[in-house]
Structure 1
Amino acid sequence: MSEIKTEVPERSFVPGGRRRHRKPKESGTGSRRALVLAVTVPVASAALAGPSAFAADNNTAATATDQPDSLDASDQQMAANLDTRVLDKRLGSDVSGVVIDAESNRTLWGHNASTALMPASNLKLATSTAALTVLGADHRFTTKVVYGNGTLKLVGGGDRTLTSDDLAEMAKTAVAGLKSAGLTTVKVAVDDSLFPEPTLANGWNTGYYPSDVAPVRALVVDGHGVMDTSVDAGQVFAKQLAADGITVDGDITHATASRSDVPVAQHKSGKLSEIVHTMLKTSDSNIAETLLRTTALGADRPATFEGGTEVVREVLSRQYGVSLDGFEMYDGSGMSRADRMPAATLAQILDLLTDPRYEDTLGSMLDGLPVSGEAGGTLGPEWGRFDDANSKCAVGKVHAKTGTLTGAIALSGLTQGKDGKWKVFSFIENGSTANTNDIRDAIDGLAATVNGCWA
């Protein structure tokens, strides 16, 4: 897992510029009322928005644009090219896609846009939106050490960025306190009760964990992919105590801290905005799962998969007016093979990032989107992205979230079109039997088509 940066980089691009707040258009079933979100939302969070101007019921290029001839020449060419290129055999027959204008919200092109497919890691966009809205961009996670009855307890607070260096600092503080009290022997226990079971989500294949996504616990160090990350963290902590002259008695056990336990040390994570930024750049599934649980807690719901996904749905639909037609969510990372999202829904979420009203809340998502050809992100050259004859022209020009599972590849983001206007796009394919790299090349080509460099 990449190291969390101390601060989020300055805004590198602002799609749509400083435009006016857009008026919500009426959907095909009539405009919905803006509902008061039934979860706890920080004062600094985004204001209530009406229904998105993007209609989610567009299935073909013709119905998506209604009057395709009214598009300007560059958009007409883009739509015509997409009509052809979305039929690329490498993508298979189960493809959902859409392109909208970020300024006007006008749908420029669509292909099965409302068809719900397995989104893979594109689901992290939904999780991030809810976490930042409910918890706030400045939220920090706290890991604690408490002492009672001869036992030091390491208490997890859901910080997936906790490092061994962070534990070492807490160990030094704990050792100083023990020695000042004349104690040289102690038991060590871990408290990960913040997140209840189950630790595995519906739809996770056994081959996914613990390496790709670990069982979800509130305590982990250095992003270790093991079955019990809490005990693992406790073992690291115990070794650090021993290195400072404290004898650790017995094995690491699970225990719940009590009110009578004495606070010894604590560590606070970086801001949530920084964590989301890194999570999206590197597509860290473990961070996403932690965010889902803590978002549930922030809304006074159980810190379970069900509690978290319920809050995500409420934030998207009631806070932002995003359509949930066909939306099925069982985890926070998109690793679940039961998850389903239409390209239309992903485009609606991304469109929020171009609205100045939500910049303070969701800005880290925009900056966290991987950039085509940028090393260190999932669209970098190390992943073989945007490196073929058709897509390499778009290096540095596409900002998008990737998604890859066996049988599912997605790419959703933003790029500046040939006309200089920012476009929001989403492409998802399921079930193609082509080589994974070939499928990615085909999808990268679609993004390059939206950009207009592959004319």
Structure 2
Amino acid sequence: MTETAATTPENTFSPGGRRRHRKPRQNGAGTGFRRALVLALAVPAASGALAGPSAFAAQEGVGTTAKTHDLDADEQQMAKSLKTRILDQRLGSNVSGVVLDADSNTTVWGHHASTALMPASNAKLATSTAALTVLGPQHRFTTKVVYGHGTLTLVGGGDRTLTTAGLAELAKTASAGLKAAGRTTVKVTVDDSLFPEPTLAKGWSDGYYPDTVAPVRALVVDGHGVQDTSIDAGQVFVKQLAVHGVTVTGEVTRATARPTDVPVAQHKSAPLSNIVHTMLKHSDNDIAETLLRMTALGAGRPASFEGGTEVVRHVLSRVYGVSLHNFKLYDGSGLSRADRIPAATLAQILELPAQPRYAHTLGSVLDGLPVSGEAGSTLGPEYGRFDDANSKCAVGKVHAKTGTLTGAIALSGLTQGKDGKWKVFSFVENGATADPNAVKDAMDDLAATVNGCYL
């Protein structure tokens, strides 16, 4: 069997200089943990325990709340400004926020931080953390081609980043094998049985399909937003076979590969760390939902919304001690209007990758955060971010995940404050009636306030 592998650039963002004091439920997040997680989730009692709030929960903010006299002058000014600016009419009345001092694990400022609101795409932070923890940052997804009974079967392995170039390499290798065996005519089927038949998550509208998110299948090419990504990928594969002189008879159909089929080619994705980077930079819903299912499979659970979100809850609460108070998650992308995550919890999740002990596993979460003013990301000028008089001073200084749904806008990330200390922040609003662009401007102003450039 011939193997090809996709590659992408290495991660680069690492704030550094952080010290953490919160103790996790378990140490590390490697192969040993993944074996333990499979065992833990196999026990019904363990799964049932996930329904209740974490013992780390039930507080306004996270960590220790700093008294005013414990804050330096810059932090006092920031907290004073945020207290006023969180009441900006553009943000509406249903808004929450929190700012943590990253080094001391103290809450510098909070406003309804434990109130659970729709997080929109900020939910991808939870999905990324669980995927990297369960599968490992170097994990690669494999797409295979097998042969039997006159048929080539393209077998999906949950690689949402597979491209036509990857299929072309598979077709080239498969064609060479066929010709060596004296065959130039075959049938083609696709096997996407790794995932069950696509369904809607709780809180999803069928209007999401296929533009906002495609039905979640284990086989797709070039991120095509179509109803049946597997058949579509098979058709692209057929075209690539034709380039190499192989004739395909009949239409592409769906079938499960036989155990006796012979492997003839495989393609491996870039490492998971790079896929997470891409997913966060562009807030890719399809990658997020595929990762949720692959994470579930990696932990021995069904490749479903329910299986994936169960594992996310387990990883956050049992491995890292993140609060699940008022936490409700029904998908991997944050498209569900039933999702609820407090700003305090989002801030806790963002604290993790900067801790030295988790940097190797979760570092791509930090590196994947869009940067204020970064073209091509969801905080780029094409989205009108950090371009008003108050926030443009923070261009290049804020690393944050965006979140946007009708009636929900969120911004959670990190920035270095005026005092030189790194701050973790999260702001979430639901139900604001102002123009969404005006709401985003107000959010950017809050982030610039945390940075200290907007006084």
Structure 2 length-normalised TM:
0.91
1:110 aligns to 2:99 (yes or no): no
- Distance (Å, rounded) in 1 between the aligned partners of 2:55 and 2:454: 28
Q: Is the 1:54–1:348 Cα contact (8 Å) retained in structure 2?
A: no
In structure 1, the residue matched to 2:60 is: 58
- Distance (Å, rounded) in 2 between the aligned partners of 1:200 and 1:163: 26
Q: For each residue in 1:221-255, what CA deviation from the matched residue of structure 2 results, as whole angstroms up to 9, or x when unmatched? A: 00000011000000000111122222211111110
Single out whichever of 373-382 and 134-143 deviates more from structure 2.
373-382
Q: Is the 1:386–1:441 Cα contact (8 Å) retained in structure 2?
A: yes
In structure 2, the residue matched to 1:396 is: 396
In structure 2, the residue matched to 1:28 is: none
Q: Is the 1:58–1:64 Cα contact (8 Å) retained in structure 2?
A: no
In structure 2, the residue matched to 1:34 is: 25
Question: In the TM superposition, what are the counterparts of 1:234-383 in structure 2 within 5 Å?
Answer: 234-383=234-383
Aligned to 1:419, what secondary structure does the other structure show? Answer: coil
Deviation for aligned residue 1:176? 1.1
Aligned to 2:371, what secondary structure does the other structure show? Answer: coil
In structure 2, the residue matched to 1:161 is: 161
- Distance (Å, rounded) in 2 between the aligned partners of 1:236 and 1:183: 20
Residue type matched to 1:243 in 2?
A: V
Deviation for aligned residue 1:70? 3.1
In structure 1, the residue matched to 2:215 is: 215
Q: For each residue in 1:331-382, what CA deviation from the matched residue of structure 2 results, as whole angstroms up to 9, or x when unmatched? A: 1011111111000000000011221110000011111111001112111111
- Distance (Å, rounded) in 1 between the aligned partners of 2:348 and 2:232: 40
Aligned to 2:31, what secondary structure does the other structure show? Answer: coil
Deviation for aligned residue 1:5? 6.0
In structure 2, the residue matched to 1:14 is: 15
Structure 1 length-normalised TM:
0.91
Aligned to 2:239, what secondary structure does the other structure show? Answer: helix
Deviation for aligned residue 1:34? 2.8
Deviation for aligned residue 1:281? 0.8
In structure 2, the residue matched to 1:451 is: 451
In structure 1, the residue matched to 2:96 is: 96
Percent identity between the aligned chains? 73
Deviation for aligned residue 1:64? 8.3
Aligned to 2:104, what secondary structure does the other structure show? Answer: coil
Residue type matched to 2:181 in 1?
A: A
Residue type matched to 1:256 in 2?
A: T
- Distance (Å, rounded) in 1 between the aligned partners of 2:54 and 2:452: 26
Single out whichever of 240-249 and 440-449 deviates more from structure 2.
240-249
Deviation for aligned residue 1:200? 2.6
Q: Is the 1:130–1:316 Cα contact (8 Å) retained in structure 2?
A: yes
- Distance (Å, rounded) in 1 between the aligned partners of 2:269 and 2:193: 19
Deviation for aligned residue 1:69? 3.7
Q: Is the 2:187–2:250 Cα contact (8 Å) retained in structure 1?
A: yes
Deviation for aligned residue 1:177? 1.3
- Distance (Å, rounded) in 2 between the aligned partners of 1:52 and 1:273: 28
Deviation for aligned residue 1:76? 1.1
- Distance (Å, rounded) in 2 between the aligned partners of 1:18 and 1:118: 30
- Distance (Å, rounded) in 1 between the aligned partners of 2:257 and 2:189: 9
- Distance (Å, rounded) in 2 between the aligned partners of 1:445 and 1:85: 8
Deviation for aligned residue 1:44? 8.4
Q: Is the 2:343–2:427 Cα contact (8 Å) retained in structure 1?
A: yes
Single out whichever of 396-405 and 201-210 deviates more from structure 2.
201-210
Residue type matched to 2:21 in 1?
A: R
Aligned to 1:265, what secondary structure does the other structure show? Answer: strand
Deviation for aligned residue 1:65? 3.9
Aligned to 1:179, what secondary structure does the other structure show? Answer: helix
Q: Is the 1:52–1:348 Cα contact (8 Å) retained in structure 2?
A: no
Residue type matched to 1:42 in 2?
A: T
Q: Is the 2:143–2:154 Cα contact (8 Å) retained in structure 1?
A: yes
- Distance (Å, rounded) in 2 between the aligned partners of 1:453 and 1:52: 36
- Distance (Å, rounded) in 2 between the aligned partners of 1:144 and 1:129: 27
Residue type matched to 1:322 in 2?
A: V
Question: In the TM superposition, what are the counterparts of 1:220-235 in structure 2 within 5 Å?
Answer: 220-235=220-235
- Distance (Å, rounded) in 1 between the aligned partners of 2:54 and 2:362: 16
Aligned to 1:353, what secondary structure does the other structure show? Answer: helix
- Distance (Å, rounded) in 1 between the aligned partners of 2:92 and 2:259: 58
In structure 2, the residue matched to 1:27 is: none
In structure 1, the residue matched to 2:41 is: none
- Distance (Å, rounded) in 2 between the aligned partners of 1:80 and 1:64: 19
Deviation for aligned residue 1:59? 7.0
In structure 1, the residue matched to 2:45 is: none
Q: Is the 1:330–1:339 Cα contact (8 Å) retained in structure 2?
A: yes
Relative to structure 1, the CA distance from residue 317 to residue 296 in structure 2 (aligned partners, 3 Å threshold; closer, same or farther) is same
- Distance (Å, rounded) in 1 between the aligned partners of 2:242 and 2:208: 34
Q: Is the 2:54–2:324 Cα contact (8 Å) retained in structure 1?
A: no
- Distance (Å, rounded) in 2 between the aligned partners of 1:415 and 1:368: 14
Q: Is the 1:78–1:450 Cα contact (8 Å) retained in structure 2?
A: yes
In structure 2, the residue matched to 1:195 is: 195
CA-based RMSD: 2.4
Deviation for aligned residue 1:179? 1.5
Q: Is the 2:120–2:404 Cα contact (8 Å) retained in structure 1?
A: yes
Aligned to 2:300, what secondary structure does the other structure show? Answer: coil
Relative to structure 1, the CA distance from residue 64 to residue 78 in structure 2 (aligned partners, 3 Å threshold; closer, same or farther) is farther
Deviation for aligned residue 1:290? 0.9
Question: In the TM superposition, what are the counterparts of 1:119-130 in structure 2 within 5 Å?
Answer: 119-130=119-130
- Distance (Å, rounded) in 2 between the aligned partners of 1:206 and 1:82: 39
Q: For each residue in 1:405-425, what CA deviation from the matched residue of structure 2 results, as whole angstroms up to 9, or x when unmatched? A: 111100000001110000000
